């Protein structure tokens, strides 16, 4: 069954190489949301886009750019992996609302309003107090809605996330996080957030990052699929997908860039423990993208129908992209 599915991974930041692209194709992945930036400014973001242009040129037999849902269907037909871009922070737009449209025209399809910290738009999940969406943030949300750029609140705090859901005229996404009832990580989401996300037509991508799973690297496939089932009951089967948060083959320096960027002289431990200072040990049942069939099999064994499994593995993402990327009329 897995070979017939459209499979979409809602978030990766792997150390991109031909090996990684081959693994994605071997795992039956039709498209992957590739993190373009964490803390880069506008000029640096342009360089990241240039790097991807080079990859498409060098590995065009394996990967292709995605500008919309139709490209994902085409990638599936061609046996290639479609790649669509997102920013894990609002840093690319700096303090200029016009850059939202500019980067959307350059194929940036998704943008988080925050990455853990307070930004010019909203509050991150590691801040001690959450002041919600800022004045600039309200304008940015309206502009993202207008140009067809998806709003992502994966690293945002509770009040900010709920306000973004309310303020946005289009469904938002949480591309890579898990329910707080499964594991109480700061970045995992409350039932209130998940319920409102589902009610508004949004999408949650389940993360396979061990620090956000019950029992960490020892989380079992059965436990993961139980979490998916319980969340489906809470949000509705049409509002969940996969966003692995896979950061494969990345050096320690990349982890430090993700967490500390340019804003801190000290090492930022994320969840507040030095035990999180390094990459976690991978899950035994999901080491890389070749293991996507394992998730499909796990959902079927848990009792998901073939139709619902197809939705979780990619069709819900496909619909969200199809509806959310069209410019407003």
3-state secondary structure the chain: CHHHCCEEEEEECCCCCHHHHHHHHHCCEEEEEEEEECCCCHHHHHHHHHHHHHHHHHCCCCEEECCCHHHHHHHHHHCCEEEEEEECCCHHHCCCCHHHHHHHHCCEEEEECCCCCCCCCCCECCCCCCCCCCHHHHHHHHHHHHHCCEEECCCECHHHHHHHHHHCCCCCEECCCCECCCCCCCCCECHHHHHHHHHCCCEEEECCCHHHCCCHHHCCHHHHHHHHHHHHHHHCHHHEEECCCECCCCCHHHHHHHHHCCCCCCCCCCCCCHHHCCCCCCECCECCHHHHHHHHHHHHHHCCCHHHHHHHHHHHHHHHHHHHCCCCC
User: Band of the pLDDT at 177, cuts 50, 70, 90?
Assistant: very high
Would 65 be classed as within a structural domain?
A: yes
* Closest residue by Cα to residue 8 from 224, 161, 173, 146: 173
Residue 90 located in a structural domain: yes
pLDDT at 317: 98
- Residue 270's pLDDT is 63
pLDDT tens across 35-44, in order? 999 999 999 9
Q: Is residue 118 part of a domain?
A: yes
Structural domain of 52: 2-324
Q: Which CATH number is 204's domain given?
A: 3.20.20.140
Q: What is the pLDDT of residues 268-295, one digit of tens each?
A: 766 555 556 788 999 999 999 999 999 9
Assign 90 a pLDDT band (cuts: 50, 70, 90).
very high
Total number of domains in the chain: 1
pTM of the model: 0.97
Is the pLDDT at 18 greater than 60? The verdict is: yes
Q: How buried is 148 (Cβ within 10 angstroms: 0-12 exposed, 13-18 middle, 19+ buried)?
A: middle
Kindly state whether residue 329 falls inside one of the protein's structural domains: no
Is the residue at 21 inside a domain? Answer: yes
Res 316: pLDDT: 98
Mean of the per-residue pLDDT values of the chain:
96
Asked if the structure places residue 149 within a domain, the reply is yes
């Amino acid at each position: 069954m897995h070979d017939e599915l459209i499979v979409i991974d809602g978030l990766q930041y792997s150390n991109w190489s031909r090996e990684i692209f081959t693994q994605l194709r071997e795992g039956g992945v039709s498209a992957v949301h590739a993190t373009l930036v964490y803390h880069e400014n506008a000029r640096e973001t342009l360089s990241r886009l240039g790097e991807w242009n080079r990859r498409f040129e060098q590995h065009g037999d394996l990967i292709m750019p995605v500008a919309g849902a139709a490209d994902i269907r085409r990638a599936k037909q061609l046996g290639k992996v479609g790649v669509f871009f997102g920013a894990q922070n609002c840093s690319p737009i700096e303090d200029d609302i016009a850059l939202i449209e500019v980067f959307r025209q350059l194929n940036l399809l998704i943008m988080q309003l925050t990455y853990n910290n307070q930004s010019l738009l909203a509050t991150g999940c590691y801040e001690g107090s959450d002041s919600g969406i800022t004045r600039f943030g309200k304008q940015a949300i309206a502009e993202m809605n207008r140009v067809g750029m998806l709003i992502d609140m994966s690293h945002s705090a509770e009040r900010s996330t709920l306000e973004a859901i309310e303020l946005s005229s289009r469904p938002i996404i949480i591309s890579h996080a898990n329910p707080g009832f499964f594991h109480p990580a700061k970045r995992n989401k409350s039932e209130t957030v998940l319920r409102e996300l589902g009610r508004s037509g949004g999408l949650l991508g389940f993360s396979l990052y061990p620090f956000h799973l019950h029992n960490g690297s020892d989380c079992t496939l059965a436990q993961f699929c139980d979490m998916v089932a319980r969340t489906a009951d809470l949000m509705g089967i049409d509002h969940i997908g996969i966003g692995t948060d896979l950061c494969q083959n990345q050096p320690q320096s990349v982890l430090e860039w993700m967490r500390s960027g340019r804003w801190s002289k000290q090492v930022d431990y994320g969840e507040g423990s030095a035990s999180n200072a390094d990459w976690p040990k991978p899950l035994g049942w999901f080491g890389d993208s070749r293991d996507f069939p394992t998730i499909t099999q796990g959902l079927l064994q848990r009792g998901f129908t073939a139709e619902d499994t197809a939705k979780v593995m990619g069709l819900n993402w496909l619909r969200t992209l199809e509806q959310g990327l069209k410019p407003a009329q």
